Structure 1
């Protein structure tokens, strides 16, 4: 049965009707997705199911299990990884990776939360979606973990022996073990977990669901299997289907697999109970990290997940009070000088959501003062009233975000499946609380002038019996020293026979990892062929239109939301000015203007716009390392009825900002510095590969100067000499703004209907931009010749991020479509097996850039030298790569599918703008797609010659000082955090 319209419920799916082993138990309209919800139960097992029926062709499936942890071993995280390493019906080592290599998926992953584990997939192709569903259902219900114990060793943990004889040392390895060493190098994660232990001393939330590296090695294989048997059972499951599909067909598909599920009868799942209110004394947590990472957190439990309206009210409240430097609570805390930054966040998607307030980069004595200041200020605001303009602006912003439904990298169906689990996991009768939002918004609007938010604030902060405070204190040593001592003690109890046994088991593990899957096993995997790839719908083409300024028009269906981007060319700036452009972009929209103070401007933006973003991009031309067009972009969006505000608010920001308040400027730049330090620790793979690219590319060097590592080093020096630099900085910024924001340098891109675009230009005219006149200098930006080096950047982390980039090779044919297929093979075959599976890194990849650079990277990696050696061996592997016809077909299909993946209108328009500024000719994407579809194994193997050309090259590693100093490559070291 294929429903063609979703405006009304389908009578064939009425409550009580049976469909392929499922019975409909509830039907409800969901106007938020212009669709219907059908709640079902599987008759044989009691498994829960839900179909969110709507017109979206990007369909999704997710099966989830309630998995509250009972300790810190990370067993559910290890299970999440491990069940995707083969199953009864698909006896290959890595079916998850095979799907990444061969399917048309638009999303494929698995996710561990503090109380649940989710397995979501999405695809626009029905056959492909069923392939993904089949593999995932067999993985969770019939995993190979019961017959292949080394999956546990690979994904969880195992011992290894370094050196031989009397000098033999032990070490731990394992994908999740190394991932969590990286995760718990982040002070935010450590603080959050410490607060959870304080708030929930009697429930599952006191444990680290991802696993604590100190506890992970206590988990046994037997406990691992027993935990799976108790929790991965159908009565403990939740299935969500989404999109335009033949529901009877998909339910029959699922029913067949549910009926064949193993019945292990291993006992009840771990309980998940409400925590009675507690108010423990402030706790102190020590962490081996940089001194600048000192922080204090105070969390308040909001109530339960059942109160959707209250949770949304707190979300709005936190934005109104702390959403910007000018919000009343954040301004009060910043003015108190307790820390570099202060933020608040809603932590939901759990049985008892919480609001967390955090100081970052705390000063001495901050812990003793923070909570009193926080609660006194909230009490004052609750008594005297929260500024109405701040509340109404925050509520308008929340409404815009809910209506826009932009979930970042998640397809709508996957994101909505997560929303479903935010209430359904805790109450079988409430699967839709967090999909709906209209009623909650109406209640909040009605209560805006009736004291609703003041009452919520009073109950949340001032009268809350369920709260906790944690002071995170940086120290020397920490987990790394504890691990070393633990391993040394363990080694001392072992004789030569035990050491030999460990070495033999590692050797056996390596042999199993290296053994190829048999053709018979590979043949069990479902796979599309190139013949299954359909021609994509043509992309609507942008066009240049007559307007007061150069204008690109994207006439797309944006569901009543308009977007505008203003691209200001920076090539008339001098190279030494680019870091100041970075400062300018960080400040715009956050300072006083001639018409509004910073607080009122912040309110004006939230009341009228869905967002105002200032950011920097550098465009390059394909195959040209010397070309660089750095650009400052100011983007804004608004509901159609507020299109005129898109014309006047950005104009005020770029044309009337005052750069006189050096105290506020310092606050903003300090916060930016703190944010970058955390970025380097948490996303060092992205930072390292960007840095490695700057060794060759002028465009990458410009980006580094404006917002990358060079900019960070500039910020450190600027803030370190603030008193002598601040006045000159203000003068420079004013001069830069006057030169950048001119009609000579701008192109405007408007995304929305032609009628709204006309209203925009009628209201905006020339946007206040004047031509600079006859004396305007030519584009004369001269960036220095990049120089390849080997660099190591010291960060407070127990794992490393290893990048290596190679200059263009004369042997490179430059066919981007062929490189795209090769990239998929290198990433999901060679590197996955060598760097992740064998090496224990959590992630790894390769990319070939438009400038013909070849770049490798790793994520949360326990190694440096071994990883670099594996990069060097990639060319030899590629030269010998001989996939079967079916395997190669899969690579082509998945590469084309990634190329064709649907994107939202704003993302499509932005992609087209970037292509335009990068000099791409019309039809360039179609040409790449033709190359992908038409490439051969011989062409891919032929790239090995270019890949083997390793001079010149540059290495960039982020990691601990010890790891960098012990690396075999000579690295120029720089301390990023802590000086």
Structure 2
């Protein structure tokens, strides 16, 4: 392994950079080097280690001064072409052609980040080159229509038509601020920080976005997107001399716009405003209350870490003391708490969802009274120790949802944004963690809770009150007034500009401009990563062990067959997996069990997962109840016993607690319908063709949600029978006849597991049991479900095997999905249509599915789906284009994954009966794809509109405007 210690010494001069500091950083298994670029004022942090998933991020301090979302619009806009790369959307070109493992841009309340990652050094530098030119030399200064596309513009189809607005960020934020929780957070933040940048919505409030002018947008970029206002992070196994030379060349070409000072980011003096009420057109059950407590500044890193642990101990589960007190108070359907860090002044936010009328002040009283009691009596040490143990597990697992280099760049900015002297403050945790562990029982957490809540003079309470109506209707009324005030000449100008924008959006890039973009070739692709080997071990049940380096974490998955369960009983299995681990067992109360699990298991969950047979994927269905758990290697004995206790010994007698848990699940499902409607719509389309997908509707989709609503509405009458059925299901499902296990962990731990676990206490029938599960025949429908939202999600799909031109799944479909997603749908649905996102998916069934995300309309999107087959049939990419699609597709297949995800992927292949080397076969087919092999798929796409299913999830006004012949049902 390469040694990254002492490579640079403070004071060293390196290609225009000066080394400021060098220190070991065990948290990243490497060293941290900080460098300055005196010529521009830029700063650079290199996190040097052996990781070959390398990353770079450049960030700018961007505190907003209003609600126009200008920094969010700029985040989109700078990636729409630059001086060096004058194509319309180099960002999309990179998605199509690079080996990126991460490529995006992110707007935060006070900063904007542009991170990229790749396992290929040349590819990383290609990404860096395009991104740096984008942020420093964007085309937005001479292409005003970038502002119109990404921000907002008026649209008018004729002089008699209604005036409307459109724009990618505008529609994104209409979707985001259809979520009551996002609206609540916006107003709590506004009340906590009335005199600072945090009072404003950095993403943009849809009512304020149309007040942003092009001139103000350009001025904002000029004042903030300069290197003196930037901080860069390099990560991984890199040649720092090569990379500093690379950066110096690009930094030295920065444009000096003499624009003036950036917006200020001040600290807020403590405030205690009167409770506020805000209204939102949403469903009555979406009433919610939030209270935020500001408890310090970013500079006290240990306090922020302690607050995270404390919040978990207080609110991390239904049995945590503060959450239990709030639930018992009956204030609403669910309560939760969040640590809002990554701000100059972190705060904790407590929220009650499904709030009863007028509970705001009572909510605050219960929080503060309960916290005062805990301060006076002492916090439960066992819960604090369990939360510390959970934090230790999370740190060792290091699965942050992003490539490590991207996640570390985000963490670094939690301190570095506010002080040039704090680039590694939030990357260090070992000493703070040790101090907190040593301070257990010494009152440290009680003192923090007292400052944070009990005696805190900086807090704000907001109630969100649902009202009738729709935001769409109000917007239409407002725009009608705007139109009345416009002259005929102005209306004509709007129509002309709309036509000009569409023409510019539809015009292809010049080939010579596209040729400027850097790209890799197939020759740059290394051999793919090898799949982990597996073996079976002598155990009471079939047990597959994967040879994966898990960093001394043990992962265990138990798969129980559901063939003994009838179709009508499947929703109750979903109820069962929701409850397991949250109720009393024969040996422990729910509170005791909760503490034991958190103290000893890094994760524990139960869920339903459905597999099909690779030979007949549409008509076969193999549902499993999965018991998933993980622990540190030294706690493998608890891994072997606690999950088994939950499965065998859970008691189903506490009907009030069961109702509360199921109500929380209902609330979570309703929130997902508004925020992730595309996932819901896609799965609903697939259920029209696949028994596996249809079964998923019964256990987790719309059908299950409706079952759950009815169950809760009739709970008093159905509670006793439901509990008896749950006991019966446990007896039928948790059998030794129908279980298999997979394991990955430290050497020797699987043997230790079975020594402790024995046979898991599972009974066997000892004779064949008739299958009870019969799945109905899927039937496609065209339907829409209305939710409180100003946007919609549009999905259309079909089964490749059932079309007039049937198709089978191979690697060419993956290349086609890339081409359709970024070559056709991005331009048609996102750029021209104004949706925030769109894509195409082909699963191995194969199920062909289009989707849009935060879309302003239904019918135009369906019309664009219908033309996709014609587009693909006429597809004539250059050799470089095709090669780019192949490279990016292979890169997605080869992308590094964390041990848990790798193990789960192998389980999925095994349980679906995929032959050994199946992924390598698909990868080889991708590499062998040709224009002809991709175009040959076009007839299947042409069949989809006639034979396919359609599902729309969205606002009632948008759905009502559709003429697609959809069966409309109200969902929320």
Counterpart check, 1:328 vs 2:307? no
Q: 1:346-365 residue pairs with structure 2 within 5 A?
A: 346-365=339-358
Counterpart check, 1:916 vs 2:910? yes
Distance 2:961 2:529 in 1: 53
C-alpha distance after superposition, 1:194-232 (max 9, x if no partner): 001100010000000000000000000010000000000
Instruction: Give the structure 2 partner of residue 811 of structure 1.
Output: 805
For residue 668 of structure 2, give the secondary structure of its aligned residue in structure 1: helix
Instruction: Give the structure 2 partner of residue 432 of structure 1.
Output: 424
Counterpart check, 1:59 vs 2:51? no
Contact 1:293 1:361 (C-alpha < 8 Å) held by counterparts: yes
Distance 1:478 1:719 in 2: 27
The CA deviation at 1:965 is: 2.0
The CA deviation at 1:433 is: 1.5
Q: 1:710-749 residue pairs with structure 2 within 5 A?
A: 710-749=703-742
C-alpha distance after superposition, 1:719-765 (max 9, x if no partner): 01111110000000000011101111111111113411111111111
Contact 1:621 1:851 (C-alpha < 8 Å) held by counterparts: no
C-alpha distance after superposition, 1:151-185 (max 9, x if no partner): 000000000003x34x2210000000000000000
For residue 625 of structure 1, give the secondary structure of its aligned residue in structure 2: coil
For residue 169 of structure 1, give the secondary structure of its aligned residue in structure 2: coil
C-alpha distance after superposition, 1:804-836 (max 9, x if no partner): 112322534424200000000000110000000
The CA deviation at 1:859 is: 0.4
C-alpha distance after superposition, 1:391-410 (max 9, x if no partner): 111111112112211112x1
C-alpha distance after superposition, 1:855-892 (max 9, x if no partner): 01000000100000100110000000100011111000
The CA deviation at 1:446 is: 1.8
Instruction: Give the structure 2 partner of residue 122 of structure 1.
Output: 117
Aligned length: 968
Contact 1:555 1:753 (C-alpha < 8 Å) held by counterparts: no
C-alpha distance after superposition, 1:511-567 (max 9, x if no partner): 111111111000100000111111123222222222121101012111111111111
Instruction: Give the structure 2 partner of residue 960 of structure 1.
Output: 955
Distance 1:431 1:568 in 2: 48
Distance 2:524 2:40 in 1: 35
Contact 1:630 1:703 (C-alpha < 8 Å) held by counterparts: no
Pair 960,629 (structure 1): closer, same or farther in 2 beyond 3 Å: same
The CA deviation at 1:265 is: 1.3
C-alpha distance after superposition, 1:283-323 (max 9, x if no partner): 11111111001001010002101111111111111111111
Instruction: Give the structure 2 partner of residue 848 of structure 1.
Output: 842
Distance 1:480 1:460 in 2: 40
The CA deviation at 1:780 is: 4.3
Counterpart check, 1:869 vs 2:850? no
Contact 1:104 1:897 (C-alpha < 8 Å) held by counterparts: yes
1:311 to 304, 311, 329: 304
Instruction: Give the structure 2 partner of residue 753 of structure 1.
Output: 746
Instruction: Give the structure 2 partner of residue 80 of structure 1.
Output: 75
Q: 1:329-408 residue pairs with structure 2 within 5 A?
A: 329-408=322-401
Instruction: Give the structure 2 partner of residue 70 of structure 1.
Output: 65
For residue 156 of structure 2, give the secondary structure of its aligned residue in structure 1: strand
Counterpart check, 1:692 vs 2:685? yes
Contact 2:608 2:623 (C-alpha < 8 Å) held by counterparts: yes
Q: 1:422-821 residue pairs with structure 2 within 5 A?
A: 422-477=414-469, 479-622=471-614, 624-774=617-767, 776-808=768-800, 809=803, 811-821=805-815
For residue 304 of structure 2, give the secondary structure of its aligned residue in structure 1: helix
Counterpart check, 1:182 vs 2:180? no
Instruction: Give the structure 1 partner of residue 133 of structure 2.
Output: 138
Stretches of 4+ aligned residues off by more than 6 angstroms: none
Distance 1:958 1:168 in 2: 26
Deviates more, 1:625-634 or 1:110-119: 625-634
Deviates more, 1:819-828 or 1:543-552: 543-552
Contact 2:794 2:953 (C-alpha < 8 Å) held by counterparts: yes
Contact 2:81 2:89 (C-alpha < 8 Å) held by counterparts: yes
Distance 1:154 1:515 in 2: 14
Distance 1:971 1:657 in 2: 44
C-alpha distance after superposition, 1:272-293 (max 9, x if no partner): 0111111111111111111001
Distance 1:227 1:662 in 2: 57
C-alpha distance after superposition, 1:340-391 (max 9, x if no partner): 0001110111110110000000112311311111101110111011111111
Contact 2:809 2:846 (C-alpha < 8 Å) held by counterparts: no
Contact 2:334 2:352 (C-alpha < 8 Å) held by counterparts: yes
Contact 1:214 1:479 (C-alpha < 8 Å) held by counterparts: no
Contact 2:786 2:953 (C-alpha < 8 Å) held by counterparts: yes
For residue 706 of structure 2, give the secondary structure of its aligned residue in structure 1: helix
Contact 1:564 1:749 (C-alpha < 8 Å) held by counterparts: yes
Distance 1:899 1:236 in 2: 37
For residue 208 of structure 1, give the secondary structure of its aligned residue in structure 2: coil
Deviates more, 1:956-965 or 1:665-674: 956-965
For residue 621 of structure 1, give the secondary structure of its aligned residue in structure 2: coil
Counterpart check, 1:29 vs 2:24? yes
Pair 440,254 (structure 1): closer, same or farther in 2 beyond 3 Å: same
Distance 1:397 1:551 in 2: 27
C-alpha distance after superposition, 1:484-516 (max 9, x if no partner): 222111100122221111111111111111111
Deviates more, 1:899-908 or 1:534-543: 534-543
Normalising by structure 1, we get a TM-score of: 0.98
Contact 2:223 2:262 (C-alpha < 8 Å) held by counterparts: yes
For residue 322 of structure 2, give the secondary structure of its aligned residue in structure 1: helix
For residue 847 of structure 1, give the secondary structure of its aligned residue in structure 2: strand
C-alpha distance after superposition, 1:241-288 (max 9, x if no partner): 000111110111111000001011100110001111111111111111
Distance 1:662 1:80 in 2: 50
Instruction: Give the structure 2 partner of residue 5 of structure 1.
Output: 3
For residue 298 of structure 2, give the secondary structure of its aligned residue in structure 1: coil
Distance 2:193 2:628 in 1: 42
Distance 2:377 2:474 in 1: 51
Distance 2:473 2:776 in 1: 43
RMSD of equivalent CA atoms = 1.1
Normalising by structure 2, we get a TM-score of: 0.99
C-alpha distance after superposition, 1:415-438 (max 9, x if no partner): 010000010000110111211111
The CA deviation at 1:973 is: 2.2
Distance 2:953 2:550 in 1: 41
Counterpart check, 1:225 vs 2:218? yes
Contact 2:473 2:957 (C-alpha < 8 Å) held by counterparts: no
Distance 2:463 2:528 in 1: 54
The CA deviation at 1:478 is: 5.8
Contact 1:815 1:931 (C-alpha < 8 Å) held by counterparts: no
The CA deviation at 1:772 is: 2.0
Contact 2:553 2:746 (C-alpha < 8 Å) held by counterparts: no
